Chain A
Protein backbone atom coordinates (compact mmCIF):
# COMPACT_ATOMS: atom_id res chain seq x y z
CA UNK A 1 0.00 0.00 0.00
CA UNK A 2 1.55 3.30 -1.09
CA UNK A 3 1.43 6.17 1.37
CA UNK A 4 0.76 9.64 -0.02
CA UNK A 5 3.34 11.88 1.63
CA UNK A 6 1.25 14.95 0.87
CA UNK A 7 -1.45 13.57 3.12
CA UNK A 8 0.94 12.64 5.88
CA UNK A 9 0.58 15.10 8.75
CA UNK A 10 3.10 15.01 11.53
CA UNK A 11 2.97 16.86 14.83
CA UNK A 12 6.48 17.47 16.15
CA UNK A 13 6.57 18.24 19.88
CA UNK A 14 10.01 19.37 21.08
CA UNK A 15 11.05 22.26 23.31
CA UNK A 16 14.63 22.60 22.00
CA UNK A 17 14.55 24.69 18.83
CA UNK A 18 17.74 23.18 17.40
CA UNK A 19 16.57 19.62 17.90
CA UNK A 20 13.17 20.56 16.47
CA UNK A 21 14.84 21.99 13.38
CA UNK A 22 16.96 18.87 13.01
CA UNK A 23 14.01 16.47 13.25
CA UNK A 24 11.96 18.66 10.90
CA UNK A 25 14.85 18.51 8.44
CA UNK A 26 14.91 14.72 8.62
CA UNK A 27 11.14 14.48 8.11
CA UNK A 28 11.44 16.75 5.06
CA UNK A 29 14.25 14.56 3.68
CA UNK A 30 11.75 11.73 3.87
CA UNK A 31 9.36 13.70 1.76
CA UNK A 32 7.01 14.75 4.57
CA UNK A 33 6.21 18.44 4.34
CA UNK A 34 3.06 18.78 6.47
CA UNK A 35 4.77 19.23 9.81
CA UNK A 36 3.15 21.04 12.71
CA UNK A 37 5.27 22.11 15.63
CA UNK A 38 4.58 22.44 19.34
CA UNK A 39 7.02 23.36 22.09
CA UNK A 40 5.40 21.37 24.89
CA UNK A 41 2.65 18.88 25.72
CA UNK A 42 0.03 21.51 26.53
CA UNK A 43 0.44 23.24 23.16
CA UNK A 44 0.33 19.85 21.44
CA UNK A 45 -3.00 19.05 23.13
CA UNK A 46 -4.36 22.44 22.07
CA UNK A 47 -3.44 21.63 18.48
CA UNK A 48 -5.11 18.22 18.76
CA UNK A 49 -8.29 19.83 20.14
CA UNK A 50 -8.39 22.33 17.26
CA UNK A 51 -7.52 19.80 14.57
CA UNK A 52 -8.99 16.46 15.51
CA UNK A 53 -8.34 13.40 13.35
CA UNK A 54 -5.87 15.02 10.94
CA UNK A 55 -2.62 13.62 12.27
CA UNK A 56 -0.77 10.63 10.89
CA UNK A 57 2.02 10.67 13.45
CA UNK A 58 3.20 12.43 16.60
CA UNK A 59 6.96 12.74 17.14
CA UNK A 60 7.50 13.82 20.72
CA UNK A 61 10.33 14.57 23.15
CA UNK A 62 10.07 13.27 26.74
CA UNK A 63 11.47 16.07 28.89
CA UNK A 64 9.54 19.27 28.28
CA UNK A 65 8.11 22.05 30.43
CA UNK A 66 4.38 22.24 31.30
CA UNK A 67 3.52 18.73 30.14
CA UNK A 68 6.07 16.01 29.49
CA UNK A 69 6.03 13.64 26.54
CA UNK A 70 4.74 10.78 28.68
CA UNK A 71 1.94 13.00 30.04
CA UNK A 72 0.98 13.94 26.49
CA UNK A 73 1.08 10.28 25.40
CA UNK A 74 -1.35 9.29 28.19
CA UNK A 75 -3.75 12.09 27.23
CA UNK A 76 -3.49 11.32 23.52
CA UNK A 77 -4.22 7.63 24.08
CA UNK A 78 -7.60 8.46 25.67
CA UNK A 79 -8.87 10.07 22.46
CA UNK A 80 -6.62 8.38 19.86
CA UNK A 81 -5.85 4.80 20.91
CA UNK A 82 -4.05 3.84 17.67
CA UNK A 83 -2.47 7.11 16.50
CA UNK A 84 1.26 6.39 15.89
CA UNK A 85 3.30 8.07 18.61
CA UNK A 86 7.11 8.14 18.37
CA UNK A 87 8.99 9.06 21.53
CA UNK A 88 12.36 10.70 20.79
CA UNK A 89 14.41 11.01 23.95
CA UNK A 90 17.87 10.86 25.45
CA UNK A 91 16.58 8.43 28.09
CA UNK A 92 18.20 5.10 27.26
CA UNK A 93 17.43 3.22 30.46
CA UNK A 94 15.17 0.18 30.63
CA UNK A 95 12.79 1.79 33.14
CA UNK A 96 12.01 4.70 30.84
CA UNK A 97 11.37 2.36 27.91
CA UNK A 98 9.04 0.30 30.12
CA UNK A 99 7.16 3.39 31.29
CA UNK A 100 6.64 4.44 27.67
CA UNK A 101 5.61 0.92 26.65
CA UNK A 102 3.09 0.75 29.47
CA UNK A 103 1.65 4.06 28.29
CA UNK A 104 1.19 2.39 24.87
CA UNK A 105 3.88 4.16 22.87
CA UNK A 106 4.16 3.03 19.24
CA UNK A 107 7.86 3.70 18.74
CA UNK A 108 10.88 4.69 20.85
CA UNK A 109 14.20 6.08 19.62
CA UNK A 110 17.14 7.32 21.68
CA UNK A 111 18.89 10.61 20.97
CA UNK A 112 21.14 11.25 19.23
CA UNK A 113 19.89 9.10 16.35
CA UNK A 114 21.04 9.01 12.74
CA UNK A 115 18.80 9.84 9.81
CA UNK A 116 18.85 6.19 8.77
CA UNK A 117 17.57 4.97 12.15
CA UNK A 118 14.92 7.67 12.22
CA UNK A 119 13.81 6.94 8.67
CA UNK A 120 13.44 3.21 9.39
CA UNK A 121 11.43 3.91 12.53
CA UNK A 122 9.06 6.42 10.92
CA UNK A 123 8.66 4.32 7.77
CA UNK A 124 7.67 1.28 9.82
CA UNK A 125 5.19 3.28 11.84
CA UNK A 126 3.61 4.93 8.79
CA UNK A 127 3.89 1.72 6.76
CA UNK A 128 5.97 3.52 4.10
CA UNK A 129 7.79 1.02 1.87
CA UNK A 130 11.58 1.52 2.19
Chain B
Protein backbone atom coordinates (compact mmCIF):
# COMPACT_ATOMS: atom_id res chain seq x y z
CA UNK B 1 0.00 0.00 0.00
CA UNK B 2 2.81 2.39 0.98
CA UNK B 3 4.83 1.53 -2.16
CA UNK B 4 1.84 2.15 -4.37
CA UNK B 5 1.29 5.51 -2.70
CA UNK B 6 4.89 6.58 -3.30
CA UNK B 7 4.66 5.59 -6.98
CA UNK B 8 1.50 7.67 -7.34
CA UNK B 9 3.24 10.69 -5.74
CA UNK B 10 6.14 10.34 -8.18
CA UNK B 11 3.80 10.39 -11.19
CA UNK B 12 1.95 13.41 -9.82
CA UNK B 13 5.21 15.33 -9.40
CA UNK B 14 6.20 14.34 -12.95
CA UNK B 15 2.85 15.66 -14.19
CA UNK B 16 3.35 19.00 -12.43
CA UNK B 17 6.87 19.34 -13.90
CA UNK B 18 5.59 18.45 -17.39
CA UNK B 19 2.75 20.97 -17.05
CA UNK B 20 5.18 23.77 -16.12
CA UNK B 21 7.44 22.78 -19.04
CA UNK B 22 4.51 22.85 -21.50
CA UNK B 23 3.33 26.22 -20.15
CA UNK B 24 6.86 27.73 -20.55
CA UNK B 25 7.26 26.25 -24.06
CA UNK B 26 3.83 27.52 -25.02
CA UNK B 27 4.81 30.93 -23.73
CA UNK B 28 7.97 31.03 -25.87
CA UNK B 29 6.06 29.89 -28.96
CA UNK B 30 3.41 32.44 -28.15
CA UNK B 31 5.94 35.28 -27.88
CA UNK B 32 7.24 34.48 -31.39
CA UNK B 33 3.73 34.42 -32.72
CA UNK B 34 2.91 37.60 -30.87
CA UNK B 35 5.93 39.42 -32.35
CA UNK B 36 4.87 38.38 -35.82
CA UNK B 37 1.29 39.53 -35.18
CA UNK B 38 2.57 42.83 -33.77
CA UNK B 39 4.58 43.60 -36.91
CA UNK B 40 1.93 42.72 -39.47
CA UNK B 41 -1.26 44.14 -37.91
CA UNK B 42 -2.35 47.50 -36.60
CA UNK B 43 -4.52 46.14 -33.76
CA UNK B 44 -1.88 47.16 -31.22
CA UNK B 45 -2.09 50.91 -31.95
CA UNK B 46 -1.80 52.86 -28.71
CA UNK B 47 0.15 49.99 -26.94
CA UNK B 48 3.88 49.50 -26.63
CA UNK B 49 5.23 45.96 -27.27
CA UNK B 50 6.72 45.77 -23.73
CA UNK B 51 3.37 46.65 -22.13
CA UNK B 52 1.57 43.98 -24.10
CA UNK B 53 4.25 41.41 -23.27
CA UNK B 54 4.03 42.26 -19.55
CA UNK B 55 0.26 41.91 -19.57
CA UNK B 56 0.30 38.53 -21.35
CA UNK B 57 3.19 37.33 -19.17
CA UNK B 58 1.32 38.30 -15.96
CA UNK B 59 -1.79 36.46 -17.17
CA UNK B 60 0.22 33.34 -17.95
CA UNK B 61 2.00 33.38 -14.56
CA UNK B 62 -1.35 33.82 -12.76
CA UNK B 63 -2.78 30.93 -14.78
CA UNK B 64 0.20 28.69 -14.00
CA UNK B 65 0.12 29.47 -10.27
CA UNK B 66 -3.58 28.78 -10.21
CA UNK B 67 -3.07 25.46 -12.05
CA UNK B 68 -0.30 24.37 -9.69
CA UNK B 69 -2.44 25.29 -6.66
CA UNK B 70 -5.30 23.25 -8.03
CA UNK B 71 -3.08 20.24 -8.66
CA UNK B 72 -1.73 20.46 -5.11
CA UNK B 73 -5.27 20.78 -3.74
CA UNK B 74 -6.37 17.70 -5.69
CA UNK B 75 -3.32 15.89 -4.35
CA UNK B 76 -4.25 16.80 -0.74
CA UNK B 77 -7.85 15.71 -1.31
CA UNK B 78 -6.71 12.40 -2.81
CA UNK B 79 -4.49 11.80 0.23
CA UNK B 80 -7.43 12.43 2.54
CA UNK B 81 -9.62 10.17 0.44
CA UNK B 82 -7.12 7.31 0.61
CA UNK B 83 -6.80 7.79 4.38
CA UNK B 84 -10.60 7.78 4.80
CA UNK B 85 -10.79 4.63 2.70
CA UNK B 86 -8.15 2.93 4.85
CA UNK B 87 -9.97 3.99 8.06
CA UNK B 88 -13.25 2.72 6.67
CA UNK B 89 -11.73 -0.66 5.87
CA UNK B 90 -10.21 -0.90 9.36
CA UNK B 91 -13.56 0.04 10.93
CA UNK B 92 -15.35 -2.54 8.84
CA UNK B 93 -12.97 -5.28 10.01
CA UNK B 94 -13.39 -4.12 13.61
CA UNK B 95 -17.20 -3.99 13.30
CA UNK B 96 -17.33 -7.53 11.87
CA UNK B 97 -15.08 -8.74 14.70
CA UNK B 98 -17.27 -6.94 17.25
CA UNK B 99 -20.46 -8.49 15.87
CA UNK B 100 -18.81 -11.90 15.85
CA UNK B 101 -17.77 -11.40 19.46
CA UNK B 102 -21.34 -10.52 20.46
CA UNK B 103 -22.71 -13.65 18.78
CA UNK B 104 -20.00 -15.88 20.26
CA UNK B 105 -20.39 -14.17 23.63
CA UNK B 106 -24.09 -14.89 23.69
CA UNK B 107 -23.47 -18.56 22.86
CA UNK B 108 -20.65 -18.84 25.38
CA UNK B 109 -22.72 -17.17 28.09
CA UNK B 110 -25.63 -19.59 27.59
CA UNK B 111 -23.29 -22.57 27.70
CA UNK B 112 -21.42 -21.32 30.75
CA UNK B 113 -24.69 -20.80 32.66
CA UNK B 114 -25.85 -24.31 31.94
CA UNK B 115 -22.50 -25.85 32.86
CA UNK B 116 -22.23 -23.81 36.07
CA UNK B 117 -25.69 -24.98 37.06
CA UNK B 118 -24.83 -28.62 36.36
CA UNK B 119 -21.56 -28.38 38.26
CA UNK B 120 -23.34 -27.40 41.48
CA UNK B 121 -23.74 -31.00 42.77
CA UNK B 122 -20.04 -31.76 42.13
CA UNK B 123 -18.78 -28.57 43.77
CA UNK B 124 -21.32 -28.64 46.58
CA UNK B 125 -21.24 -32.31 47.52
CA UNK B 126 -17.75 -33.36 46.37
CA UNK B 127 -16.20 -31.88 49.50
CA UNK B 128 -18.28 -34.16 51.75
CA UNK B 129 -17.20 -37.26 49.85
CA UNK B 130 -13.56 -36.13 49.97
CA UNK B 131 -13.84 -35.57 53.70
CA UNK B 132 -15.53 -38.97 54.20
CA UNK B 133 -12.87 -40.81 52.20
CA UNK B 134 -10.12 -39.12 54.17
CA UNK B 135 -11.70 -40.15 57.47
CA UNK B 136 -12.28 -43.75 56.28
CA UNK B 137 -8.62 -44.06 55.38
CA UNK B 138 -9.32 -45.22 51.81
CA UNK B 139 -6.25 -43.60 50.31
CA UNK B 140 -6.82 -44.72 46.70
CA UNK B 141 -10.39 -43.48 46.49
CA UNK B 142 -9.42 -40.32 48.33
CA UNK B 143 -6.81 -39.61 45.63
CA UNK B 144 -9.39 -40.35 42.89
CA UNK B 145 -11.83 -37.94 44.44
CA UNK B 146 -9.11 -35.32 44.84
CA UNK B 147 -8.39 -35.64 41.11
CA UNK B 148 -12.11 -35.15 40.38
CA UNK B 149 -12.20 -32.04 42.57
CA UNK B 150 -9.03 -30.60 40.99
CA UNK B 151 -10.44 -31.22 37.55
CA UNK B 152 -13.68 -29.53 38.56
CA UNK B 153 -11.74 -26.52 39.81
CA UNK B 154 -9.89 -26.35 36.50
CA UNK B 155 -13.20 -26.49 34.61
CA UNK B 156 -14.52 -23.67 36.78
CA UNK B 157 -11.50 -21.59 35.81
CA UNK B 158 -12.26 -22.17 32.11
CA UNK B 159 -15.92 -21.27 32.59
CA UNK B 160 -14.95 -18.12 34.47
CA UNK B 161 -12.83 -17.10 31.49
CA UNK B 162 -15.73 -17.84 29.16
CA UNK B 163 -17.96 -15.62 31.29
CA UNK B 164 -15.35 -12.86 31.19
CA UNK B 165 -15.17 -13.22 27.42
CA UNK B 166 -18.98 -13.08 27.25
CA UNK B 167 -18.92 -9.94 29.45
CA UNK B 168 -21.14 -11.78 31.90
CA UNK B 169 -18.76 -11.57 34.81
CA UNK B 170 -19.10 -8.34 36.77
CA UNK B 171 -15.79 -6.70 37.62
CA UNK B 172 -15.14 -4.01 40.21
CA UNK B 173 -12.74 -1.24 39.23
CA UNK B 174 -10.56 1.22 41.10
CA UNK B 175 -8.41 4.08 39.80
CA UNK B 176 -4.80 3.04 40.33
CA UNK B 177 -1.45 4.50 39.37
CA UNK B 178 -0.28 2.62 36.30
CA UNK B 179 3.35 2.90 37.46
CA UNK B 180 2.46 0.93 40.58
CA UNK B 181 0.04 -1.71 39.27
CA UNK B 182 1.93 -2.44 36.03
CA UNK B 183 5.24 -3.56 37.59
CA UNK B 184 3.26 -5.75 40.01
CA UNK B 185 1.23 -7.36 37.22
CA UNK B 186 4.34 -7.90 35.08
CA UNK B 187 6.32 -9.36 37.97
CA UNK B 188 3.44 -11.69 38.86
CA UNK B 189 3.44 -13.03 35.29
CA UNK B 190 7.22 -13.04 34.78
CA UNK B 191 7.75 -15.24 37.82
CA UNK B 192 6.03 -18.18 36.17
CA UNK B 193 7.84 -17.89 32.82
CA UNK B 194 10.77 -20.20 32.01
CA UNK B 195 14.16 -18.73 32.91
CA UNK B 196 15.11 -18.86 29.21
CA UNK B 197 12.65 -16.01 28.57
CA UNK B 198 13.84 -12.49 29.39
CA UNK B 199 11.32 -9.72 29.97
CA UNK B 200 12.70 -6.23 29.33
CA UNK B 201 10.60 -3.42 30.74
CA UNK B 202 11.24 0.13 29.58
CA UNK B 203 8.87 2.67 31.00
CA UNK B 204 9.15 5.61 28.70
CA UNK B 205 6.16 7.79 29.36
CA UNK B 206 6.79 11.45 28.65
CA UNK B 207 5.31 12.84 31.80
CA UNK B 208 6.57 15.27 34.40
CA UNK B 209 9.07 13.15 36.32
CA UNK B 210 6.87 10.09 36.01
CA UNK B 211 3.89 11.75 37.60
CA UNK B 212 1.18 9.25 38.54
CA UNK B 213 -1.05 8.13 35.66
CA UNK B 214 -4.36 6.72 36.78
CA UNK B 215 -6.24 4.00 34.94
CA UNK B 216 -9.37 2.18 36.03
CA UNK B 217 -8.28 -1.30 36.99
CA UNK B 218 -9.80 -4.52 38.17
CA UNK B 219 -6.78 -5.98 39.94
CA UNK B 220 -7.47 -9.66 39.18
CA UNK B 221 -8.45 -8.93 35.59
CA UNK B 222 -5.39 -6.74 35.07
CA UNK B 223 -3.05 -9.42 36.39
CA UNK B 224 -4.76 -11.95 34.15
CA UNK B 225 -4.24 -9.76 31.07
CA UNK B 226 -0.47 -9.70 31.58
CA UNK B 227 -0.29 -13.31 32.67
CA UNK B 228 -2.01 -14.40 29.44
CA UNK B 229 -0.07 -11.98 27.24
CA UNK B 230 3.36 -12.96 28.56
CA UNK B 231 2.58 -16.67 28.45
CA UNK B 232 1.36 -16.26 24.91
CA UNK B 233 4.47 -14.31 23.89
CA UNK B 234 6.71 -16.88 25.53
CA UNK B 235 4.96 -19.77 23.75
CA UNK B 236 5.28 -17.91 20.41
CA UNK B 237 9.07 -17.88 20.91
CA UNK B 238 9.23 -21.57 21.93
CA UNK B 239 9.97 -20.33 25.45
CA UNK B 240 13.25 -18.80 24.39
CA UNK B 241 14.10 -15.15 23.76
CA UNK B 242 13.20 -11.67 24.89
CA UNK B 243 9.88 -9.95 25.43
CA UNK B 244 9.99 -6.14 25.42
CA UNK B 245 7.35 -4.15 27.28
CA UNK B 246 7.17 -0.43 26.69
CA UNK B 247 4.71 2.34 27.53
CA UNK B 248 3.57 5.40 25.65
CA UNK B 249 0.91 8.04 25.89
CA UNK B 250 -1.45 7.70 22.96
CA UNK B 251 -5.10 8.00 22.00
CA UNK B 252 -7.49 5.09 21.60
CA UNK B 253 -7.54 4.26 17.85
CA UNK B 254 -11.31 4.15 17.70
CA UNK B 255 -11.83 7.14 19.98
CA UNK B 256 -9.13 9.68 19.08
CA UNK B 257 -10.41 12.16 21.69
CA UNK B 258 -9.67 9.73 24.52
CA UNK B 259 -6.13 9.77 25.90
CA UNK B 260 -4.83 6.35 26.86
CA UNK B 261 -1.82 4.58 28.20
CA UNK B 262 -0.52 2.22 25.52
CA UNK B 263 1.34 -0.88 26.66
CA UNK B 264 3.30 -2.56 23.87
CA UNK B 265 4.26 -6.18 24.38
CA UNK B 266 6.75 -7.22 21.73
CA UNK B 267 8.03 -10.72 21.17
CA UNK B 268 10.54 -12.08 18.68
CA UNK B 269 8.52 -15.19 18.01
CA UNK B 270 7.14 -16.87 14.92
CA UNK B 271 4.65 -14.08 14.19
CA UNK B 272 1.01 -14.56 13.19
CA UNK B 273 0.03 -15.60 9.71
CA UNK B 274 -2.13 -12.84 8.12
CA UNK B 275 -4.74 -15.50 7.27
CA UNK B 276 -5.38 -16.25 10.92
CA UNK B 277 -4.91 -12.77 12.37
CA UNK B 278 -8.65 -12.15 12.31
CA UNK B 279 -9.27 -15.33 14.33
CA UNK B 280 -6.78 -14.99 17.17
CA UNK B 281 -9.32 -13.33 19.45
CA UNK B 282 -11.99 -15.97 18.78
CA UNK B 283 -12.59 -18.28 21.72
CA UNK B 284 -11.20 -21.80 21.42
CA UNK B 285 -9.09 -20.87 18.40
CA UNK B 286 -5.58 -22.08 19.14
CA UNK B 287 -2.46 -22.92 17.19
CA UNK B 288 -1.03 -24.70 20.21
CA UNK B 289 -1.29 -28.36 20.95
CA UNK B 290 -4.60 -29.24 22.61
CA UNK B 291 -2.80 -30.06 25.86
CA UNK B 292 -1.01 -26.71 25.89
CA UNK B 293 -3.80 -24.21 25.49
CA UNK B 294 -7.54 -23.81 25.81
CA UNK B 295 -7.79 -21.12 23.14
CA UNK B 296 -9.16 -18.70 25.70
CA UNK B 297 -5.99 -16.70 26.48
CA UNK B 298 -6.21 -13.97 23.86
CA UNK B 299 -10.04 -13.78 23.78
CA UNK B 300 -9.95 -13.21 27.55
CA UNK B 301 -7.32 -10.49 27.12
CA UNK B 302 -9.42 -8.85 24.39
CA UNK B 303 -12.55 -8.94 26.55
CA UNK B 304 -10.77 -7.80 29.71
CA UNK B 305 -9.05 -4.86 28.01
CA UNK B 306 -12.37 -3.87 26.47
CA UNK B 307 -14.03 -4.09 29.89
CA UNK B 308 -11.28 -1.76 31.15
CA UNK B 309 -12.54 0.74 28.54
CA UNK B 310 -9.65 0.17 26.13
CA UNK B 311 -8.80 -1.94 23.12
CA UNK B 312 -6.21 -4.39 21.82
CA UNK B 313 -4.34 -3.93 18.55
CA UNK B 314 -2.04 -6.48 16.98
CA UNK B 315 0.82 -5.95 14.52
CA UNK B 316 2.69 -9.00 13.40
CA UNK B 317 5.29 -10.02 10.85
CA UNK B 318 5.68 -13.72 10.18
CA UNK B 319 9.13 -14.90 11.20
CA UNK B 320 9.98 -11.67 13.00
CA UNK B 321 7.52 -11.36 15.84
CA UNK B 322 4.39 -9.70 17.12
CA UNK B 323 3.52 -6.52 18.97
CA UNK B 324 0.32 -6.44 20.98
CA UNK B 325 -0.69 -2.91 21.93
CA UNK B 326 -3.04 -2.66 24.87
CA UNK B 327 -4.79 0.69 25.37
CA UNK B 328 -6.06 1.74 28.82
CA UNK B 329 -7.92 5.06 29.08
CA UNK B 330 -6.41 7.54 31.53
CA UNK B 331 -8.79 8.74 34.22
CA UNK B 332 -8.86 11.32 37.01
CA UNK B 333 -7.97 9.93 40.43
CA UNK B 334 -11.50 10.47 41.79
CA UNK B 335 -13.26 9.09 38.71
CA UNK B 336 -13.68 5.35 39.18
- B120 with A22: CB separation less than 8 A: yes
Q: Once the chains bind, are A115 and B121 in contact (CB under 8 Å)?
A: no
Interface residue tally for chain A (C-beta within 8 Å):
24
Q: In the complex, how many angstroms separate the beta carbon of B323 from the nearest chain A beta carbon?
A: 33
Q: Interface of chain A, helix or strand or loop or mixed? A: helix
- Nearest opposing residue in chain B for A25, CB measure: B125
A115 in contact with B128 (CB, 8 Å): yes
Give chain B nearest CB distance to A85 CB in angstroms: 19
Q: How far is the CA of A107 from the CA of B163 in the complex (A)?
A: 22
Separation of A119 and B277 alpha carbons in the complex (Å): 47
A26–B124 alpha-carbon span in the complex (Å): 7
Tell me whether A26 and B170 are in contact in the complex, defined as CB-CB below 8 angstroms, given that A90-B113, A90-B116, A91-B113 are known contacts: no
Cβ contact of A18, chosen from B113, B116, B118, cutoff 8 A: B118
| B117 in the interface (beta carbon within 8 A) | yes
Residue from the list B119, B128, B163 in contact with A25, Cβ < 8 A: B128
A29-B128, A90-B113 are known contacts. Are A111 and B120 too (CB-CB below 8 A)? yes
User: How many residues on B have C-beta within 8 angstroms of the other chain's C-beta atoms?
Assistant: 21
Query: In the assembly, what is the distance between CA of A118 and CA of B120, in Å?
Result: 11
Mask of B122-147 contacts with A, CB within 8 angstroms, 1/0: 11110110000000000000000000
Q: A90-B113, A92-B168, A93-B168 are in contact. Are A114 and B125 (CB under 8 A)?
A: no
Does A32 reach chain B (CB closer than 8 Å)? Answer: no
Give the residues in chain A near B167, CB-CB below 8 Å: 93
Any B CB within 8 A of the CB of A47: no
The B contact surface, by secondary structure, is helix
A56-68: CB near B (< 8 Å → 1, else 0) gives 0000000100000
Q: Are B124 and A114 in touch, CB under 8 angstroms?
A: yes
**A26 partner residues in chain B, CB cutoff 8 A:** 124-125
Instruction: Give the nearest-CB partner of B121 in chain A.
Output: A22
For residue A94, which residues in chain B have a CB less than 8 angstroms away from its CB? 170
- The CA of A26 and the CA of B125, in the complex, are separated in Å by 7
Cβ–Cβ < 8 Å partners of A118 in chain B = 124
10 contacts between A and B (CB under 8 A): A18-B118, A23-B124, A91-B113, A93-B168, A97-B170, A111-B116, A111-B117, A112-B120, A114-B123, A115-B125
Other A-B contacts than A19-B121, A113-B124, 10 sampled, CB-CB below 8 A, are A18-B118, A25-B125, A63-B113, A90-B114, A90-B116, A91-B113, A92-B168, A111-B120, A112-B122, A114-B124
